[in-house]
Amino acid sequence: MEKTICELFAGVGGFRLGFDKAESGWKTVWFSQWEPGAKTQWANQCYVQHFGNSEDMNGEIHTCEDISTVDKKTIPNHTLLVGGFPCQDYSVAQSLSSSKGIEGKKGVLWWQIRDTIEVKRPAFCIFENVDRLLKSPASQRGRDFGIILSCLNELGYSVEWRVVNAAEYGAAQRRRRVFIFAYRNDTEYANEMKEYDGVVLINEDGFMAKAFPIEPVDKCFEGELVSDLLEMTNKFSFDFKSGGVMRNGKIYTNNVVPVQEEPILLGDILQSNVDESFYITTEKMSKWTYLKGAKKINRVSKTGHEYIFSEGPIAFPDSWDKPGRTMLTSESTLNRSTHIVSDPGTGRLRTLTPIEAERLQGFDDDWTNSGMPNRMRFFCMGNALVVPMITRMTKVLDDIIDSEQ
């Protein structure tokens, strides 16, 4: 089986870089990256600078366009579909114009993934999302992830998922994300996996267990999907755990404990004697101290209810002897979540540099140094995934592909 990839919502190329670092012959045949409302498509430009552009089956370039306008039939055939897509409301609505009686909410990118799978039928898929996907929406916990699983089940795929804290598997950032691995039920791999029950798959023989080893679990919580997506929207809820399997509409899940590896520490990725623009000025020090400190604030809700908003202190500066915290798109701005470090050379407090942000995510130094302003470099890294986690999964997938006809 060919090692070909289609990458949706590609960002600055984290998935592709992760596969390239495995050095096992994967080829990306098409990608798509488009930021709605952005005058300059910085992420797409960065991706193209590193990897070049992609043509569709008609020899045309549509990689920097709204994916909903792309005819999925023109996307080249591929073995693996990958992408990191936003956590949104995945519910469906009735539609008289829809041949299936339902339609996904407008602008929700999951449905573009679903449509691509339906048309191109890749043997395998790997997706990444924030871990709250498993619990959303708060009013009907698990519904959104259940809809995704139900779509994949309807299309003839089985699924494994795992919430991964990258630092627990040797990375420099305590970033928790859910990875979703789907495989078509007519593959050799699917036939092999039929021999194992949910506990065995989660513990040792499944895709995620091999990529991200865990301490054994002794049981699974079980559930069942509803075949009708409209009914899923209105009634379905389920307590999805951090690891799990879905096949033939059956759910097997449990919380898992990683076999932890030594992480990269924040101190290991820091530069010394950086440019003066990154240091905290005397004028802003009091604001930073306030944002990072504990506080209790009297507030009034929209309904007139008075309450006290409280939050605990956050490390100021961030400790060198721990991995970095989760990096957000607001990194480097005057914000509570921004990392503040003591510069190894000067001892003065400062924000991270763009290169340090790239190192937190496992990218090469100056990966985003493609003409984009520093603010956008931080934004792109806040949106990115941790590259070494992709490389780990690539190595497992290599063995699977080698066994396919």
Helix (H) / strand (E) element for 240: namely: none
Angle (nearest 5°) at CA 69 between 67 and 70: 65
> Which is the catalytic residue, given 6, 46, 64, 87?
87
Residues 359, 171 contacting (CB under 8 angstroms): no
Tokens 């020090």, residue located: 285
- Residue ranges in 207-293 assigned as alpha helix (H): 207-211, 229-235, 266-269, 282-292
Q: Distance between CA atoms of 374 and 327, rounded to whole angstroms?
A: 15
Phi, psi of 22 (to 5 degrees): -75, -20
Residue pair 31/7 in contact (Cβ under 8 Å)? The answer is yes
CA-CA distance, 285 to 293, in Å (whole number)? Answer: 12
Percent helix, strand, coil in the chain (nearest 5)?
Answer: 35, 20, 45
Phi, psi torsion values for 205, nearest 5 degrees: -100, -10
Respond yes or no: is residue 125 known to be catalytic: no
Judged by DSSP in three states, 164 sits in strand
Chain centroid to Cα 375, Å, comes to 21
C-alpha 400/C-alpha 187 separation (Å) is: 10
Q: Under a CB-based contact definition with an 8 Å cutoff, are residues 358 and 364 in contact?
A: yes
Q: Which amino acid is at 25?
A: G
Give the integer Cα–Cα distance in Å for 354 and 388: 18
304 φ, ψ (degrees, to nearest 5)? 95, 0
Q: Catalytic residue positions?
A: 87
